[in-house]
Amino acid sequence: MANQDILINWAPQETRVAVVENGAVQELHIERTLERGQVGNVYLGKVARVLPGMQSAFVDIGLERAAFLHVADLHGHPATRPDAPLPPIERQVFEGQTLTVQVIKDAIGTKGARLSTQVSIAGRMLVFLPHDNHIGISQKIGSPELREQLRARMQVLAAHDPDDKGGGFILRTNAEEASDAELADDIAYLRKTWATIRQRAQAQKPGTLLHQDLSLAERVLRDLTTDATQTIRIDSQMQFEALKAFGDVYMPGARAKLDLYRGERPIFDLFGIEEEIQRALARRVDLKSGGYLIIDQTEALTTVDVNTGGFVGARNFEDTIFKTNLEAAGAIARQLRLRNLGGIIIADFIDMTREDHQQAVLAELRKQLARDRTRTTVSGFTQLGLVEMTRKRTRESLAHMLCQPCPTCEGRGQVKTARSVCYDILREILREARQFNPKEFRVVASAAVVEMLLDEESTHLAGLSEFIGKPISLSAEPTMNPEQYDIVLL
């Protein structure tokens, strides 16, 4: 089991968390106060529009964009047979209806948040399902005997709870070794939380936030801390005290691992996290062997290209390719976690002729991905030698959170050369000369474009001036980007 340390850098405007395993940063989590995600939040919503054609509805929950509710995310209408169709959404909701809804997926890009009326409230060891009555067990608890024991214990504990008003539970992985007292405490806390939500829903107007999920620092104790976690270092005295109080009530095991960082150097600087963030935003990732990855993130998918680079250390080229691909498999798994890349991912490993080499690389990739708490699937090599995989997407990637498209290239990743812009200008002047009859044409462009027109393209500029019978003057504008220009008619 990997040794794990968690570093928390807190500021009023932003909380950053780095998960370090065996000295290498594996995960970065960032929560900004003004951009805090809504997943897990419970709102009192109002149906704004029902779309029978899409079997969905738009619900106003008080956010900038209306949220999206699909018929599959409505509770209370179980099908009589597993393969039976769901009742149409227009029979279940109507415009103006008030619903208690929970965000299950943050707004991403132009898409609004996704909602569900099947509310679930996460605790330390349990997830409470107010609208269900079954007891579920985390798939990561694999022993059939243990699963049955846990289910039987939960049925007894839930039935004997004095606040029992129905509802079901899912046991999380850290409930595997929980005592009856710990489970009973979690049951009581979750049912009390749900009772508070219901009371607020009866008293508030639509668009009101009824329940907010834990902050990132609190979720560290609830979700990120494992048996492998050695320390949880935080650099804020105020937040340290708040986490201690939270841990005493809900996470006493994690509470014992809390440590207040008192050093003068920023905690992320001391442990090299700032440099790691910069590398996680770069397109190229260098491997220790001399090879490298090229990672490109698009709207539809993410591509990872593996290259040998300067690696020539093996006895023959086939071994060189195999060793580079093996190292790349571990690096790819780490970069997916580090950058929080989701959706469809295509990895283009260097072509391998031997079947056993392909299977060894796939096995290494699956082994490294098994450490990822986000669900991933690997489909194996395609006929073109590509590895297809998917990773569940629940929040924005690191690059989308920290960066924006370049205003110069508008996200293309490249701009026209100065010569291409020069020829655009010459064509535009000829086009304008056929429509207008000014005394003079003045070209305002970037310094690089003006310099090329005066130097290498001066013959073409003089020839055009002679052809149209008008003088052409040039003016350099330092604030213009390489592709911008204006043609002024004087």
**pLDDT given for residue 149 in this prediction:** 85
Quick one: 178 and 51 in the same domain? yes
Quick one: 70 and 205 in the same domain? yes
- Phi, psi dihedrals of residue 482, rounded to the nearest 5°: -55, -25
- From 230, 249, 274, give the residue that closes a domain: 274
Quick one: 358 and 483 in the same domain? no
In a domain, 412, yes or no: no
In a domain, 117, yes or no: yes
Domain residues for 350?
282-402
CATH code (residue 171): 2.40.50.140
Quick one: 244 and 335 in the same domain? no
Quick one: 237 and 269 in the same domain? yes
**pLDDT given for residue 223 in this prediction:** 79
Quick one: 222 and 196 in the same domain? no
Quick one: 161 and 29 in the same domain? no
In a domain, 410, yes or no: no
Quick one: 136 and 68 in the same domain? yes
**pLDDT given for residue 80 in this prediction:** 39
Quick one: 47 and 191 in the same domain? yes
**pLDDT given for residue 331 in this prediction:** 93
**pLDDT given for residue 161 in this prediction:** 66
pTM of the model: 0.71
In a domain, 366, yes or no: yes
Q: Of 224, 217, 213, 223, which is closest to residue 240 (Cα–Cα)?
A: 217
**pLDDT given for residue 13 in this prediction:** 92
In a domain, 253, yes or no: yes
**Which residues of the chain fall below pLDDT 50?**
77-81
pLDDT tens-digit series, residues 39-82: 889 999 999 999 999 999 999 998 888 999 999 888 764 443 45
* CA–CA gap between residue 59 and residue 71 (Å, rounded): 13
**pLDDT given for residue 387 in this prediction:** 93
Quick one: 160 and 79 in the same domain? yes
pLDDT tens-digit series, residues 194-238: 988 999 999 899 999 999 888 899 889 887 888 889 999 999 999
Domain count, the chain: 4
Quick one: 106 and 202 in the same domain? yes
**pLDDT given for residue 315 in this prediction:** 63
In a domain, 411, yes or no: no
Quick one: 193 and 54 in the same domain? yes
CATH code (residue 476): 3.40.1260.20
- From 274, 295, 324, give the residue that closes a domain: 274
**pLDDT given for residue 388 in this prediction:** 93
In a domain, 413, yes or no: no
Structure tokens at 156: 């007894």
In a domain, 246, yes or no: yes
As a dihedral over the C-alpha atoms of residue 214, residue 215, residue 219, residue 222, rounded to 10 degrees, the angle is -40
